[in-house]
Amino acid sequence: MSVRRIWASVTTLALAAVAALGAAAPASAAAGGYVALGDSYSSGVGAGNYLSDSGDCRRSTKAYPYLWAAANAPSSFAFVACSGATTSSVSSGQLSALSSSTALVSVTAGGNDVGFASVMTDCVLSSEATCVNSVNAAISQVQNVLPGRLDSLYSNIRSRAPQARVVVLGYPRFYKLSGSCIAGLTETERGAINRASDILNGVTAKRAADAGFTFSSVVDEFTGHELCSGDAWLHSVSIPVYNSYHPKATGQAGGYLPAFRSAA
């Protein structure tokens, strides 16, 4: 049995359950209310220390919104990001936290809209060709469907918080190519996943700019800390399964927090 098949067998059960994706600020930002919207990358899935009242949203005290609020003491802090959130569910379930007095907003959204969990499951459990096809299908969704969904979400955020500074954060590249991994995905698969992340970030950055929002990439912060780097700030296939392909506490503190802080 090949190493790839053994690895896939070990992780089948875990990946079947993967469903979620996922220095002080300027005084003007800290002086008003701060609202943290988005998916699991903003709620802090994978970082641990989840707030007891957050349930399956898994909002972590190690997530960048919580860390920023603790350091900057905004006049109010609403942490409503939730694991598994899409652009639609952010609009329908999180925007009530915004108001005309909101001064600062952060948001990550889009990965779940294009089927991130399904792509990673295909790549881990199926052939290289299936993985690449799944990635390409997701890229098509990013290019042809996601822009309209992001436009709708961003418009709704602006209408609810007309004076707020809105910071849209992207997603990291997952893999260091030609890195230390000796099992698991092929280099072709890893490269395809990284390309999809780059395209997703590019589309998100363009829609954010057109909305008058600030896009902050986390790619530079995570460079050298990807999977297969030997110092990964991201979980690979993990138990509990919801941690898989999400930032660890070090990824939130060393990657997302600086990216947000520089834009906030």
Q: What would the pLDDT profile of 57-112 be if each residue is shown by its tens digit? A: 999 999 999 999 999 999 999 999 999 999 999 999 999 999 999 999 999 999 99
**What band does 238 get if pLDDT is binned at 50, 70 and 90?**
confident
Catalytic residue among 83, 152, 246, 262: 246
pTM of the full structure: 0.89
Catalytic residue among 40, 60, 134, 217: 40
What H or E segment, with its residue span, contains residue 165? strand 165-169
The gap from C-alpha 105 to its chain's centroid, in whole angstroms, comes to 15
- Whether the pLDDT of residue 11 is over 60: the answer is no
- Whether the pLDDT of residue 6 is over 50: the answer is no
- Whether the pLDDT of residue 219 is over 60: the answer is yes
Catalytic residue list contains 246? yes
- Whether the pLDDT of residue 23 is over 60: the answer is no
Q: What is the pLDDT of residue 19?
A: 42
Give yes or no for a contact between 214 and 166, defined as CB atoms under 8 angstroms apart. Answer: yes
**What band does 29 get if pLDDT is binned at 50, 70 and 90?**
very low
Question: What percentage of the chain reaches a pLDDT higher than 70?
Answer: 88
- Whether the pLDDT of residue 225 is over 60: the answer is yes
Sheet with 214-216, strands from edge to edge, namely: 76-79, 33-36, 102-107, 165-169, 214-216
Report the C-alpha gap between 213 and 46 in whole angstroms: 27
Q: What is the pLDDT of residue 224?
A: 97
Q: What is the pLDDT of residue 183?
A: 85
What H or E segment, with its residue span, contains residue 133? helix 128-144
- Compute the average pLDDT of residues 161-184: 95
**Protein fold of 3-263:** Rossmann fold (3.40.50)
Residue 165, both tokens = 């500074």
- Whether the pLDDT of residue 181 is over 60: the answer is yes
Q: What is the pLDDT of residue 18?
A: 44
Q: How far is CA 55 from CA 51, 80, 83, 156, in A?
A: 8, 12, 10, 26
Average pLDDT of every residue of the chain? 90
